[in-house]
Amino acid sequence: MLQINDLHVYYGESHIIKGVSFEVGKAETICILGRNGMGKTTLIKAIMGLLRPKEGKITLNGEDITFLEPFEKINKGIAYVPQGREIFPYLTVQENIEVGLETVSEKTIPDFIFDLFPVLKDMLNRKGGNLSGGQQQQLAIARALVSNPKIILLDEPTEGIQPSIIEEIAKVLNILKKEKGISILLTEQFLNFALETSDRFYIIEKGKLIYETTREKADEKALRDFLTL
């Protein structure tokens, strides 16, 4: 589905992502785990087209999308839920979701969105800025999903969210993978969420992937040690 090959990304003169390579299969969830400042957000932004890689290649279903603009990548089937959610606080819940319909022909919010996030149906006319952090994250995921993506990128989806909503989001991601066939790439620091949702894990350290494992072979202590060093 998505393949990253020898990616290098800079901020000015600072070399942030250093030769990262991995792939995400169809209906597979990959988690990039790492502490703050290790390059997780830079990596996701580069894949989405918000940052331009200096070297390397990004392909989606075999097509080179390395240097496409973000809106072009959305048209190709990539959706993005940024760190901090970035919903529109002065738009209603319905208007926020409808922003995600810009790239599809059907301009009606599909029913499955409210099956996944019933709380949003009760808040359609409420301003996005009046929602809790967890509700805003659900709104951001809903906005991404209505574009009918093949793969969704989530940057630190549990950040600043109460545990009950984290559990709900984990269930939703598993439904999207198993029932909708959507591939998922997420970055995280919260290991329990990663273990609940992900098929494979990578540890990122100073812009490099230094460790890889699967859910079946995961050594929870080793993963926690990487995150607390």
The pLDDT value given to residue 229: 62
CA angle 83, 170, 60 (to 5 degrees): 60
To the nearest 10°, report the CA torsion of 216, 20, 178, 121.
Answer: 130
The closest of 98, 167, 123 to 157, measured between CA atoms, is 167
DSSP conformational letter for 147? T
**Mean pLDDT split into 10-residue runs, the chain, 229 residues:** 95 92 96 90 95 95 94 93 88 93 83 92 92 92 92 92 90 93 93 92 93 89 83
The pLDDT value given to residue 106: 81
The closest of 21, 17, 19 to 2, measured between CA atoms, is 21
